[in-house]
Structure 1
């Protein structure tokens, strides 16, 4: 894993820096990252086969989730993906790889002509895969600032597992947090995955 850069104290400054670093990656680098993330998932989860997984469809310079989604589908998981509502909350829509897609809010992609399941659908997911701009060793997560995932994760079911997906240089020693910030249980990077434990990663 790459040595993390010193952290600026301001979240906005950190977000801007990380987004600029992502923008410098080539298409080939992003494609390779997606394959590495899928391998990291398979190694971290072993033979575990979640029945329902909430996962996001990566866009832009986000680490690609397509190969990971293929692994989940091969393991027989039912998938739901987020729909950003006008008030910034996350609803959920059933998804199958290869489904006909349409443009959703804020540049997202959504399965076409499929009604949402409701905001509480995440509560039935055994596994939740979330985007992040950075993750700390204690599971603190830095998102894009809208708070949609923090509010959605409050609705996660008991015993569910939350994994964040980032590039390796986005794993940092610590992050500034606020009371509403939700932590993750594990992290997937192109170079491997790890679980969060009390006092840091393991």
Structure 2
């Protein structure tokens, strides 16, 4: 999956980011956690601005200094973004809300390398979201942002995996999971 992503050209990335921004406008909620895409992750900062323009309060992750749940801060525009702990990863510079901020959000849009039809999410392997998602309320909408080809029939699951209840893709928009039930 990672190798396939690395082969995606800039034109496709821009096209998909534009499509995702158009689809995300339909998903607004009071408070939405999102992420700033980096590398070959789908999306762009425009997606965050679309959410804000639609009236959502947007929270972005801050990677903690030691492995653990993500911290969160409000995104107030591109001028509020600074380079975080990892090179190329942008984070908001506003007041920290703590990991428990997830308990108060309506929807979480999170990156994934792939998601299967039952909602199993394949991340990048660091476990930050695995440690964070259990802090979300049971009613929080968990949406993995992926490319159309990254919705796959089956992925291996581990006991700590929190299942997604939707995937957002550039071509298909919001796809509710699990599929086939």
CA drift of 1:201 comes to 5.4
* Counterpart position of 2:152: 172
What SS does structure 2 have at the residue aligned with 1:59? coil
CA drift of 1:85 comes to 0.5
Q: Which segments of 5 or more consecutive residues in structure 1 lack a partner in the other structure?
A: 1-17
Structure 2 Cα separation of the partners of residues 59 and 124 of structure 1: 26
**Mapped contact 1:55–1:130 kept (Cα < 8 A):** yes
Alignment deviations for residues 125-160 of structure 1 (CA, whole Å, 9 cap, x no partner): 101011000000111100011111011110002311
* Counterpart position of 2:39: 60
**Mapped contact 1:137–1:173 kept (Cα < 8 A):** yes
**Mapped contact 2:62–2:92 kept (Cα < 8 A):** no
Higher mean Cα deviation, 127-136 or 70-79? 70-79
Q: CA RMSD in A?
A: 1.6
* Counterpart position of 2:20: 37
Structure 1 Cα separation of the partners of residues 163 and 65 of structure 2: 25
Q: Taking structure 1 as the reference length, what is the TM-score of the superposition?
A: 0.82
Q: How many residues align?
A: 178
Structure 2 Cα separation of the partners of residues 101 and 128 of structure 1: 19
Q: Equivalences for 1:114-133 in 2 at 5 Å?
A: 114-133=94-113
Alignment deviations for residues 13-50 of structure 1 (CA, whole Å, 9 cap, x no partner): xxxxx12111111111101111112233345x4xxx41
Q: Taking structure 2 as the reference length, what is the TM-score of the superposition?
A: 0.91
Structure 2 Cα separation of the partners of residues 160 and 135 of structure 1: 18
Q: Which segments of 5 or more consecutive residues in structure 2 lack a partner in the other structure?
A: none
> Hey, which bits of structure 1, 4+ residues long, moved more than 2 A?
38-43, 65-68, 97-101
What SS does structure 1 have at the residue aligned with 2:62? strand
Q: Equivalences for 1:137-152 in 2 at 5 Å?
A: 137-152=117-132
Structure 2 Cα separation of the partners of residues 127 and 142 of structure 1: 19
